[in-house]
Amino acid sequence: MRKLLVFQHAATEPLGVLDPMLRQRGFRIRYVNFARNPDARPDVARYNGLVVLGGPMNVDQVERYPHLAAEVEAIREAMSRELPVLGICLGAQLLASALGASVRPHTVREIGWYLLHPTAAAREDRLLRHFDGSQPVFQWHAYTFDLPNAAVLLASTDSCSHQAFRFGERAYGLQFHLEADEPLIRRWLAVPAYRAEIDPSQMERILEDTHSHVAPALQLSEKVFTDFIELFSWRPRKKVVLENR
């Protein structure tokens, strides 16, 4: 049985639609919720892959959330073992940080649905090839990251140039939320601390856009996540040493 390690930062931010896809394919999933157990230090070597989810904290808040530094080290360990790694939102920022890239507050807070523009490289990418031109995706972030050295940029939006990247063949960072269906998005919108980040005048628009865009987004997520799961069928080579960054 293949075992997946999942770093979670809030109970309200699970794997979403990716969870049943993994379970249907026989994966055993271990969630490590750092909000409940901030001192957890799971051994990446015991697992076949790693997913790092979003959360309400930021990469530069290590003093308040020391587990963020431990997560960065775990991400590096997973990549050195050539395990499949997927970072979503905060997880993508942690992946970028693990690769030595700068992560910082963005000039624009993206909350809601934004057109995602795949790059030319995305057409040849195992996961992002499923984007047929620009398509709306759900966003919720106030930080951005530089593209790590040797990483391949796969997508951008008009207001945020680094939205998706691949490092090597098995590590992906997605700033956006393909895992979120309509009930999960509505759940986020109902959390008082999350809701406080939104201009009240935009709430109705976000709900309307969610109703309009979520069905095609979920069709896209099924294709993208199916191909991510296929990465687990690759036989990893021996552990490699990443360059100091």
- Contact present, 51 and 11 (Cβ < 8 Å): no
- Contact present, 8 and 14 (Cβ < 8 Å): yes
Mapped onto helix, strand or coil, the DSSP state of residue 182 is helix
pLDDT for residue 238: 52
In DSSP notation, 23-35 reads: HHTT-EEEEEETT
Tokens representing residue 124 in the block: 């040849």
**Average model confidence (pLDDT) for the chain?**
95
Q: What is the mean pLDDT of residues 135-145?
A: 98
pLDDT for residue 233: 87
Cβ-count burial 40-70 (b if 16+ within 10 Å, e if not): eebebeebbbbbbbbbbbbbeebeebebbeb
Q: What is the mean pLDDT of residues 124-138?
A: 97
Confidence bin at 239 (pLDDT 50/70/90): low
The single-letter DSSP state of residue 62 is T
Q: Tens digit of pLDDT for each residue in 69-100?
A: 999 999 999 999 999 999 999 999 999 999 99
Q: Is the pLDDT score of 241 beyond 60? A: no
Measured in whole angstroms, the distance separating CA 6 from the mean position of its chain's CA atoms is 11
Confidence bin at 186 (pLDDT 50/70/90): very high
Helix (H) or strand (E) holding 191: none
pLDDT for residue 98: 98
Confidence bin at 240 (pLDDT 50/70/90): low
pLDDT for residue 208: 98
pLDDT for residue 1: 86
Strand positions, DSSP E, the chain: 3-8, 28-33, 49-52, 85-88, 103-118, 135-145, 152-156, 164-167, 171-174
The single-letter DSSP state of residue 146 is P
Percent of the chain with pLDDT over 70: 95
pLDDT for residue 122: 98
Provide the whole-model pTM.
Answer: 0.95
Q: Is the pLDDT score of 235 beyond 70? A: no
